[in-house]
A and B are shown apart, each in its own frame.
Chain A
Amino acid sequence: MDPRRTARTVSDPKVRQVGFFTPAPPERSISDPPRFQDPIQPPSPSPTQVNDHSPSGNSLSPVMIPPAHHHSDNFLRTALQVTSPTKAFSYSAKTVTIPPENEDVASSFSPGRKVVSAKSPSSFPGVKASSVPASELTTVSVVNLPPGISEKAGGASVEVQNDRPVSAKTLKEKTSKAERRALQEAQRAAKAAAKAEGTKASSAASKVVTSANTKPSKAAKSSSQKNDGSQVAASEKKGGDRAPEKDRKKDAPHPRMQYDDKSRVEKAKKRAVVKQTEARNRVELFRHLPQYEHGTQLPDLETKFFELDPMHPAVYKVGLQYLSGDIRGGNARCIAMFQAFKEAIKDYSTPPEKTLIRDLTARISSYVSFLIECRPLSISMGNAIKFLKNRIAKLPLALSESEAKSTLMLDIDRFINEKIILSEKVIVKHAVTKIQDGDVLLTYGASSVVEMILLHAHELGKHFHVVVVDSRPKLEGQLLLRRLVRKGLSCTYTHVNAVSCIMQDVTRVFLGASSVLSNGTVYSRVGTACVAMVAHAFRVPVLVCCEAYKFHERVQLDSICFNELGNPDAISKVQGREEINYLDGLVNQENLQLLNLIYDATPSDYVSMIITDYGMIPPTSVPVIVREYRRDHLWS
């Protein structure tokens, strides 16, 4: 989190151009908004964005880290359209502050949402510059301020302060300065609030925000208040919540459920809708992961379809589809989940005596835990859920129920379009530039993005050969193979063991990913690591295609600490080869364990390049994307 270092990474175009980069950078120049965002993006970004963005000088860089405000601006716009009170509020906020700058946008927006942009340290020098004029604004005292606003604004400013590239200050200085700036922000916000019916809305919003913060934030609360220094904390009791240290802490992903912890597992079981029987003969190394008897719960759940009251049928259906394996693949699962949530939100009505924001969040949480029972969430789904919960939490209280619902549904649609469908298109556009005539491309398993890339390259008339490598037990490669051959691509099919025999003819390896972790580790279908390793040994470039919404700030070094266990019976029986039945009578033997790992972690040294919607980046730049992304979308 050293701001200086990352800032340099962003601004130095030379670093980016090592290895692969797109030969057509002009379309990504500053003044021209990235084309892929066009459908969502306002046609002409405001000049402030350009100003903010220019110091990072990525006009040459193939990596497009879009200006942080495009989206917030965009959000603002939608907010303007949908919600009248916010409109007044934010608009006024904008008019108050003279230079429409980075933090102004953030602060103007703060009542409606948690200030997450502040959480991720900014790498843009623009932020630094903006802080100077802001400090000149301090005149009015903050006595009458609504507490919610002051806290929030304070939080934002403190954070910005921290993020300055020159952060060689003691904590004490920081807090005092932060306090000063908190006042300014608060004052500014107060003016705005006075114009709108701000008091009510903002206080409610702050309440919402606190309610949305789950356990880990609570844990962080006490310590953060301690660190924060008494001066600040005195004026903002609740405001300890907003403090930067707390935000920092929340940055770290909270620990996952460990299934070897007996008491917690028992607790979780009591709440569970799906009653799964635990598998016997579990592998010692993987006791911390859940493993259930496969297929035992499905019929049971199907009968319960009409009995389960709290569960929305659409969610229920998706859960069953996850369970049976009808929906698989990160994007497909994510889209299906969001569609189901959309249905659920559509049919949702706030019970009397409850607020929509709280109740809906709780409702979504219960859906999510049901889905987890069906199949552990993928990391991309986790990110998507975070987004949705965040959107719910940020709903202005003044919205009527129907308005809130339609806002959320719009948000969901936008997420699907923007983060998944458009991302894929952009990735395809980038990746196709890496395919030349006469190439032999190897892919492993079935990745939807890689398939799109191959098909698109074929449509462009490029002549290349595809090697589809597959492995047991899912044999997803066969499905991909079939689709590719149907489209007229010439393909070679083989299994993962033979990959080192075929690798010497291969010129590029294209791999999909379930997630990219912030140490550059690619978390993907089991076997991906093998393929990448062999490609590395044969000096074949490995290109990983992954949408940015699948990036995650977790780190992982091996495939054991976190993984998913599939159905062990799939191991003992070989599909289509009935003669291999050596293990038929032995499945219940105590000595025999069957391990069906679903994912593995590919070390970043095997990955030459990651193709994402922000461009083509080396694996070392993943944390930058993670950070920018969170900032960008007011994530978490």
Chain B
Amino acid sequence: MPDTQALVNDFLNKLKKRKIEGSQATAKQTAELLRSVISQTRMPYTNQAAALIHSVKAVGERLIAANPVELAVGNVVRRVLHIVREEDLSLTTAAMAGLNLSAESDDEDDTDRDNHPALSAAAIAAASRSTLRPPSLQTLLEDVPDSAAVPHTSSSGGDSEGKSKSADKSSRSRKLKHDVIEAVNELIQDISTCHELIAEQAVEHIHQNEVILTLGSSRTVLEFLCAAKEKKRSFRVFVAEGAPRYQGHLLAKELVTRGLQTTLITDSAVFAMISRVNMVIVGAHAVMANGGVIAPVGLNMVALAAQKHAVPFVVLAGSHKLCPLYPHHPEVLLNELRSPSELLDFGEFSDCLDFGSGIGAPLLHVVNPTFDYVPPKLVSLFITDTGGHNPSYMYRLIADYYSADDLVLERRTTSGN
């Protein structure tokens, strides 16, 4: 697998040099890379899932280390690992179900399973997700009756990931890889279409004559606003330019070309204008498990102002931005400092920068952080591709997408497979 290696190295480089902009692009590329990694993995005869997990983890670790601040990478790696585990689980269960059917025919949900044989694996997968237990063979064997009892509660995960075909023991070796790749494809699909799903909900949140404030630029926000506009809602948008990257200019341009009434303001005018704003709609960089948001710099200020004036602060986030980690001191640990040249002209201030050289520490420091942490209490609502959620619910939503085993991605012999 030399070509995968090359791909991985290439992607690592890009990540390290921060060549990839935006969490969506990063997530998508990560997923594509992992797909090729999976397809290149040579499958042993026994314990194939473990082999897949091992190879994905090996790559994933390096990716995460390349840019630990880009949480989307870690999220996608964990999602893929979760997919592998689930596919393995569903195959196993299917196999087991075939074995067990005759033996445990007196089970109360037996008829259910007969009616929906295709669903059962998915159901088990969903059940195991919901119990948040590592879906190891051991737990599976113990829990078969329980987990089979909840086939209808499985909602989202079942149809996307748990595409279990009829269990065929002979083709199992090829099957796992195939299923995983298919599921990863679906994940990629999900990532690239998440705006549409989010934008569909726009009309439920934006009504006539509203004044909406946003800061910086986010594709999700753009699509969201445009979706509302297309539904003949007329409203005006204040765009704060989002120093030091001034992506707000870009967003303003897009909005104007799509015919939305747009006003561009400086970031410092946010507090002045917020009293006339009905809703703040922003994108996020990542959503943490506690409901806190890692967002473009400046949003904490906006959120505080919105809270002061009791303006709803709505965060749009695709599911690839949901991160299963709980943040600790995120302002520093999950932040990244960009070049000071975005704030100060080096040529102009070179003399000032030189002043300190004699004494030791320079007199002039420039701080140019990339992200802000918005604590959950400042967020009114999250809108993800699965609908709107409270910040306090995020941990649960996130638990649906990841398995507990993968939260810490370190090369260590983990339990489970």
By a beta-carbon cutoff of 8 Å, the part of chain A in contact with chain B is 283-285, 470-473, 478, 481-482, 485-486, 488-502, 504, 525-527, 529-530, 533-534, 537, 558-560, 563, 571-572, 574, 576-577, 580, 582-583, 586, 589, 591-597, 600-601, 603
Contacts and interface: CB of A to CB of B under 8 A. Distances in A.
A591 B276 CA distance: 19
Chain B CB within 10 A, most for which of A500, A593, A600: A500
B265 interface: yes
Contacts of A285: 276
Given A592-B262, A600-B271, A499 B249 contact: no
A560 B276 contact: yes
A359 B181 CA distance: 90
B289 interface: no
A485 B256 contact: no
Contacts of A559: 269, 271-273, 275
Interface in B295-309: 297-298, 300-301, 304-305, 308
A530 B271 contact: yes
B241 interface: yes
- The listed residue with most A CB atoms (<10 A of its CB), out of B271, B355, B363, is B271
B364 A493 contact: yes
Interface stretch (B105-113, B172-180, B320-328, B341-349): B341-349
Nearest to B237: A591
B271 A529 contact: yes
Nearest to A536: B304
B246 interface: yes
Interface stretch (B77-85, B366-374, B409-417): B366-374
Interface in B327-367: 331, 335, 340, 342-345, 348-349, 352, 355-356, 361, 363-367
B271 A495 contact: no
10 contacts: A482-B352, A495-B343, A497-B301, A527-B267, A527-B269, A533-B301, A533-B304, A572-B249, A591-B256, A591-B261
B264 A571 contact: yes
Contacts of A495: 243-244, 267, 343, 368
Contacts of B361: 490
B7 interface: no
A164 B2 CA distance: 95
A32 B342 CA distance: 54
Contacts of A577: 246, 342
A133 B260 CA distance: 73
A514 to B, nearest CB: 13
B287 interface: no
B393 to A, nearest CB: 24
Nearest to A501: B369
A284 B237 CA distance: 12
Contact of B266 (A472, A490, A502, A529): A472
Contacts of B236: 284
Interface residues of B, number: 59
Contact of B269 (A481, A488, A493, A595): A595
A591 B262 contact: yes
Contacts, number: 191
> What are the 5 tightest A-B residue pairs by CB atom distance, in nearest-first order?
A527-B268, A497-B298, A559-B272, A471-B268, A600-B272
B267 A496 contact: yes
A123 to B, nearest CB: 33
Contacts of A489: 363
A492 B367 contact: yes
Contacts of B269: 526-527, 559, 595, 597, 600
Nearest to B342: A577
Interface in B250-283: 250, 252-253, 255-257, 259-273, 275-276
B295 to A, nearest CB: 11
B280 to A, nearest CB: 14
A595 B263 CA distance: 7
Nearest to B260: A591
B143 to A, nearest CB: 46
A533 B305 CA distance: 7
A594 B264 contact: yes
Contacts of B305: 530, 533
Contacts of A563: 272
Contacts of B257: 586
Interface of B: 236, 238, 241-244, 246, 249-250, 252-253, 255-257, 259-273, 275-276, 297-298, 300-301, 304-305, 308, 331, 335, 340, 342-345, 348-349, 352, 355-356, 361, 363-369, 372
Nearest to A603: B308
A501 B268 contact: no
A78 B230 CA distance: 73
A412 B279 CA distance: 50
A485 B272 contact: no
A534 B365 CA distance: 21
Given A501-B369, A504-B331, 18 more contacts: A471-B243, A485-B352, A485-B355, A490-B364, A495-B244, A498-B368, A526-B266, A526-B272, A529-B272, A534-B304, A560-B275, A571-B264, A572-B249, A591-B259, A591-B260, A592-B264, A595-B238, A603-B308
A586 B253 contact: yes
B368 A488 contact: no
A489 B364 CA distance: 9
Contacts of A576: 345
B272 A580 contact: no
A582 B253 contact: yes
Nearest to A576: B345
A488 B355 contact: yes
A592 to B, nearest CB: 5
Greatest chain A CB density within 10 A among B256, B272, B276, B352 is at B272
Contacts of A527: 266-269, 271
A509 to B, nearest CB: 14
A283 B237 CA distance: 12
Contact of A472 (B238, B268, B273, B348): B268
B301 A496 contact: yes
B242 A497 contact: yes
Contacts of B297: 497-498, 501
A283 B265 CA distance: 11
Contacts of A502: 367
A486 B264 CA distance: 35
A593 B367 contact: no
A572 B271 contact: no
Given A489-B363, A492-B366, A533-B301, A500 B272 contact: no
A595 B253 contact: no
Contact of B343 (A493, A500, A589, A591): A493
B264 A572 contact: yes
B209 to A, nearest CB: 11
A559 B273 CA distance: 7
Nearest to B332: A501
Contacts of B261: 591, 593
A91 B335 CA distance: 73
Given A496-B301, A500-B372, A559-B271, A582 B249 contact: yes
Contacts of B253: 582-583, 586
Contact of A571 (B241, B344, B364, B366): B241
Given A500-B301, A589-B256, A591-B259, A560 B366 contact: no
Contacts of B267: 471-472, 495-497, 527, 530
Nearest to B361: A490
Contacts of A589: 256
B260 A494 contact: no
B365 A493 contact: yes
Nearest to B263: A593
Nearest to A285: B276
Most B CB within 10 A of own CB, among A525, A571, A589:
A571
Contact of A526 (B255, B268, B348, B366): B268
Nearest to A493: B366
B349 A482 contact: yes
A464 to B, nearest CB: 13
A481 B364 contact: yes
Contacts of A501: 297, 331, 335, 367, 369, 372
